[in-house]
Amino acid sequence: MRQRVTKKTKRGGDPLIGAKSPRSVELSKWAFCRWILQHPRLALVFISLAALIPFLDKPFNFDDPLFIWTARHIQLHPADPFGFDVNWYAKVMPMWQVTQNPPLASYFIALVTTVLGWSEMALHSAFLLPASLVILGTYRLARHFCERPLLAALATLLTPVFLVSSTTVMCDVLMLSFWVWAVVFWFEGWAKEKSGFLFLSGLLMGLATLTKYFGIGLVPLLLAYSVFRLRRWEWRLVWLLVPVIALASYEVWTKRLYGHGLFSQAMEYAGGAKQNLGASKTASIFIGLAFAGGSTGLVALLAMRFWTGRRLLVIGLAGILAALIPLASGMLFKRYTAPLADARLAMDFQFIIWVMMGLAVLVLAVEDFQRNRDSNGILLALWVVGTFVFASFFNWEINTRSVLPLTPAVAILLARRLNNSAAKNDRSEFLILVSAAGLALLVAWSDFRLAGACRSGAQNVADKLSHPVGTVWYQGHWGFQFYLDKLGLPAMDETSKLQAGDFVVVPLDNTCLIDLNPDAFELRETIITAGPRLLTTMSSGAGAGFYASAYGPLPFAFGAIAPEKVLILRLKSLQ
């Protein structure tokens, strides 16, 4: 039996610790490890489910409501996905002006909810599918790049950005599943001379693009890879036009529906938001590095295993210097408000760590290409660097969702680089992966707690004001809005006509709040809801901006995290 396992492991590449590693022989003596070596794909599915199932009851938060509301409308009007109004920026606007993503994720939600229903557990269960497909696709792609594909797949799963994104119902992980499998079939189409695979890859590129506009980035990425590999033009490159045609058709279709092409609108929105709300180009470099490092988490430590002595010292000092420049100059804090001062020291330390990790990720990609100078190297390097550049300079705001697509490439780069170091210190790799899993689960749990605080805060408001004398209005958006909307409370906007005696509910750490005249209102009660402790993904006070760096320069932050506060105000007189 042992010879059979060793042969299979060698042919497929050692799933975790290297085909010829002495430790692989030792581990094969254990029944569980032997089963993993024999069934790596099934093991990956089980591990992925084990990591995500605890979060199936996670409340909806942040941009989740936009996708759910669109899905509800699609069930009634499938040919008009954004033909309804929504209050998302403190004023009622058409949904097609509010959303900056194409509707395929909402069509997916509309489809699965016809069978599973609209509960949190039902929707999160449906999104286990794309999450598992990302991990399986990373494994399959990594088999062509390295001898340790299971390590690459696990490294992808155990990043904070992937684990947290997989517990939302937004479009990011669904897009990434199409992205990874498009790369798989494009790579295998050329390697195996199968035009059908190239056609299938083109279709998947189109689906990725109609799930999230970043999917169109596959066209220049795979074109560069193909030209570098073939050194000539091939007629089969025409399949790269499939996503271009899909995006152009979508632009024409939405222009006919709404009078404005939604892809071009998204480009205009990103440019305007970046100019008005975003950090300076210089600050964006450092914030982007912090988000790249924090999003990949402790997995990036594996990149440092092969740097010793002078090189490790140089990279470490470069990372520290890169982080200290915006901190010492004050450049970073021009866009952040005073509450950060309370957590400044802790934030500075974390910022330095994650900038170093982000720099390590970029160095890893560049060094891999320099060492190999092959088409595989150019694919992975452009995948990582291109995603970083887009997230830092072209997206409407730096956030982990825009960094997410680089995680499979970083994981494959790590496994590719570790090919020749399997026999050196397998225990350290195992400890790093365990630590990475602990950090990723901790961040995911923190985001779960934050979403729970939003839902609990909304329920507490409804309980406190179950029999009000006047109308109860609420401000704020994200999950707080979603659950108060379900309870039937009206959202306040710029045109709302309040009467004396009306109540206004204001969640303090939320977005798009309307300024109120303090002299016209009296504070009736402050509702405090326990949220995450010691670690949070979104808090302006702690400097955490997982979903938008406007809240802070860190993807997540350790420290003393304030509870969620909701003010209940009562209008004394007309404003």
DSSP for 442-454, please give it. Answer: HHHHHHHHHHHHH
- 97-143: pLDDT as tens digits: 999 999 999 999 999 999 999 999 999 999 999 999 999 999 999 99
The tokens describing 298, both together, are 């402790």
Q: Tell me phi and psi for residue 487, to 5 degrees.
A: -80, -5
- CA proximity to 527, closest of 476, 471, 478, 486: 476
| 3-state SS class at 470 | coil
The residue type at 412: I
The alpha carbon dihedral of 291, 292, 297, 298 has a sign of: negative
- Give the Cα separation of 506 and 527 in Å (integer): 10
Q: What is the pLDDT of residue 302?
A: 72
Task: Give, as one character, the DSSP assignment of residue 135.
Answer: H
The C-alpha angle with vertex 140 and arms to 139 and 144, in degrees rounded to 5, equals: 105
If 0-12 CB within 10 Å is exposed, 13-18 middle and 19+ buried, where does residue 115 land? exposed
Task: Return the exposure string of 159-198: e unless at least 16 CB atoms fall within 10 Å of the residue's CB, then b.
Answer: bbbbbbbbbbbbbbbbbbbbbbbbbbbbbbbbeeeeeebb
Q: 253-290 in b/e burial notation, b at 16+ Cβ within 10 A?
A: ebeebbeebbbebbeebbeeebeeebbeeebbbbbbbb
Extract the runs of DSSP E, i.e. beta strands, from 395-520: 472-474, 503-507
- pLDDT number for residue 38: 78
Do 170 and 102 form a contact (C-beta atoms < 8 A)?
no
Average pLDDT across each block of 10 residues of the chain; the chain has 575 residues. List them in order: 38 44 48 72 93 96 95 96 93 93 96 95 97 97 90 93 96 97 95 90 97 96 91 86 96 94 88 65 85 86 67 70 66 58 76 87 88 88 95 89 95 83 60 87 96 92 82 91 90 87 90 87 90 90 89 90 90 69
Q: Which long-range contacts (CB under 8 A, 24 or more apart) does 458-467 make?
A: 458/483, 458/484, 458/487, 459/483, 459/487, 460/527, 460/529, 460/566, 461/489, 461/505, 461/527, 461/566, 461/568, 462/487, 462/489, 464/525, 464/527, 464/568, 465/503, 465/505, 465/568
This prediction has a pTM of 0.90
CA distances (Å), origin 387, targets 267, 289, 497 = 16, 12, 45
Phi–psi pair at 105, nearest 5 degrees? -60, -40
- Here the tokens at position 484 are 């108060």
Written as one letter, the residue type at 559 is: G
To which residue do tokens 């092959």 refer?
374
